[in-house]
Chain A
Amino acid sequence: MDKEEAKFILSACRPGDQDAEDSQFQEALELARTDEELGAWLEREKALDTAISAQLLKSPVPEDLRDSLLAGHRLVRVPFRKRRAGILAAAAAVVLLLASGAAWLRIQQGFTGYRSAMVQTLEQLDSLDMRSDEVREIRAWLTERHGHADFQIPESISKLSGLGCRILEWRGHKVTLICFKDSESKLHDVVHLLVLDRDALPNPPEAPTPRYAQVGNLATAGWSDRNHTYVLAGHGKSDNLKKFF
């Protein structure tokens, strides 16, 4: 076995000690013990794998997922001989499953689901329908295309330069995206405003205090006025958005 073959095999060796006794790796591990260069490579490889693994294991899991799983899966497994006596129990379990499924659906159709869906959209977005640094031009363009041209924003956001806008869709409802350039921020210099008709949501966030949440890589702030629900999103932490309110 040469060093390249050993590296190929050892790439599949987990960074901990889990695979130390696996016969598949023995020859390559022995070579790494005797060859200084290969041994150094293996140490770097393990350290890097450990670091990447640790970061991936930090990625957040939706808050509601566990409860939804537990609520939605109290199904009865009824042996054949007890099936007749268990018909009511099975029916109750189906009702419970439908109820939990409906609860999950409400989460997805409500503000939390909307915000999550929009963050995913933002993370995959690679173009705008219209570009301008003038907010009045953006409003005019939206007016022509029946977007939410009458969006109302805090004064601190209105002082930012525009970047452009795009009209999106969520569950059949029109969503207007307006992007702004935050020149004061060197690291996170783009903020995105999403505008949705307020009556599209069963539980819109209330004004005037925004509801902050970290969703994936983005910090978000949500609030509503009489007609619209807004989500402001930007890279980094919530503190980067609080300055606007």
Chain B
Amino acid sequence: MHVDHPDFQMLVDRYYEPLYRFALSLSRREADACDLTQQTFYLWATKGHQLRDGSRVKSWLFTTLHRAFLGSRRRESKFPHYELETAAPELPAVTPNIVNELDSGLVKDALLQVDDLYRAPLMLFYMQQHSYKEIAELLEIPIGTVMSRLSRGKEQIRQILSVAMDGADKKIISLPNPSSTRQNQNG
């Protein structure tokens, strides 16, 4: 006789999007993010019954996904990132109105260029579903470390957005002016 998990669809509907976005912030790859999300719900389907306190489902799901990511993390290929100047007074200030007018993909890309250490707590913070205490528990780091990483992560993403707004890096491939002379470059 089939016995469906009583709340499985409800859990999927409630959490699959934030879990996917969190997974994407960790892995930076859509396919890997899908795999991590799928793996998390698979683990819930097979082991979720062991969770006695139903109110901790959210924490369980996000923690499981994070651990799955850590367990499967491979050396990432170089991800193009902005070279941030330590002093760049000419960069435009990032304001809420400007952010609202940006392409959401640009903001997402900016997040994906934040340092690994800061990116996960930053994404969890911006999803607004997790307090700093929950982030600390989920990522298994001290509260003070969460605060420190949020502070520095926010500084980074704002610098990255400021550079992007300045038009310094709108192209996928940053190329010099093409010449009629064929040039070979290493891929």
Binding site for B on A (CB under 8 A): 8-9, 11-12, 14-16, 18-19, 22, 24, 44, 47-59, 61-62, 65-66, 68-70, 72-78, 82, 85-86, 89, 92-93, 104, 108, 113, 116-117, 120, 122-134, 137, 141, 161-164, 166-167, 179, 181, 187, 189-190, 192, 216-217, 235
Question: A130 and B41: CB pair below 8 A?
Answer: no
A11-B150 contact in complex given A52-B157, A73-B8, C-beta closer than 8 Å: yes
Q: In the complex, how many angstroms separate the beta carbon of A56 from the nearest chain B beta carbon?
A: 5
Q: State the CA gap A161–B2 with chains docked (Å).
A: 61
B residues 2-26 touching A (CB-CB < 8 Å): 2-5, 8-9, 12-13, 16-17, 20-21, 24
Q: In the complex, how many angstroms separate the beta carbon of B89 from the nearest chain A beta carbon?
A: 18
Question: A51 and B100: CB pair below 8 A?
Answer: yes
Question: B127 and A56: CB pair below 8 A?
Answer: yes
Q: Which residues of A contact B123 (CB under 8 A)?
A: 56
A62-B30 contact in complex given A132-B180, A164-B178, C-beta closer than 8 Å: yes
A166 CB contact (under 8 Å) in B94, B99, B187: B187
How many residues belonging to B are interface residues under a CB distance threshold of 8 Å? Answer: 77
- Seed contacts A72-B41, A216-B30; 20 additional CB < 8 Å A-B pairs: A9-B147, A12-B146, A50-B96, A51-B100, A57-B21, A57-B126, A65-B34, A69-B37, A69-B41, A73-B8, A73-B42, A74-B8, A76-B2, A77-B45, A85-B1, A132-B178, A163-B173, A163-B175, A187-B170, A192-B172
B96 CB contact (under 8 Å) in A47, A70, A117, A179: A47
B178 CB contact (under 8 Å) in A52, A85, A161, A187: A161
Question: A217 and B125: CB pair below 8 A?
Answer: no
Question: B180 and A133: CB pair below 8 A?
Answer: yes
Question: A48 and B94: CB pair below 8 A?
Answer: yes
Q: Which residues of B contact A77 (CB under 8 A)?
A: 3, 5, 45-46, 49
Q: In the complex, how many angstroms separate the beta carbon of B174 from the nearest chain A beta carbon?
A: 7
Chain A binder among B52-60, B65-73, B107-115 = B107-115
Q: In the complex, how many angstroms separate the beta carbon of B131 from the nearest chain A beta carbon?
A: 6
Interface of B is mostly: helix
Q: Which residues of A contact B175 (CB under 8 A)?
A: 128, 131, 163-164
Question: B186 and A52: CB pair below 8 A?
Answer: no
Q: In the complex, how many angstroms separate the beta carbon of A167 from the nearest chain B beta carbon?
A: 8
A70-B31 contact in complex given A56-B127, A127-B186, C-beta closer than 8 Å: no
B residues 108-135 touching A (CB-CB < 8 Å): 108-109, 111, 123, 125-128, 131-132
A53 CB contact (under 8 Å) in B46, B128, B147: B128
Question: B107 and A131: CB pair below 8 A?
Answer: no
Q: In the complex, how many angstroms separate the beta carbon of B15 from the nearest chain A beta carbon?
A: 10
B31 CB contact (under 8 Å) in A120, A130, A166: A120
A72-B127 contact in complex given A47-B96, A131-B183, A181-B178, C-beta closer than 8 Å: no
Q: Which residues of A contact B109 (CB under 8 A)?
A: 123, 217
B125 CB contact (under 8 Å) in A14, A54, A66, A116: A14
Between A51, A55, A61, A92, the greatest number of chain B beta carbons within 10 A of the residue's beta carbon is seen for: A55
Q: State the CA gap A207–B175 with chains docked (Å).
A: 32
Q: Which residues of B contact A9 (CB under 8 A)?
A: 147
Q: State the CA gap A146–B143 with chains docked (Å).
A: 56
Q: Which residues of A contact B183 (CB under 8 A)?
A: 130-132
| A-B pairs with beta carbons under 8 Å apart, 29 shown | A16-B128, A19-B131, A47-B96, A48-B158, A49-B126, A49-B154, A51-B97, A51-B99, A54-B100, A55-B104, A55-B108, A56-B104, A56-B127, A59-B107, A65-B38, A68-B34, A73-B5, A73-B44, A77-B46, A93-B2, A126-B78, A126-B80, A129-B186, A162-B178, A179-B173, A181-B178, A189-B171, A190-B172, A190-B173
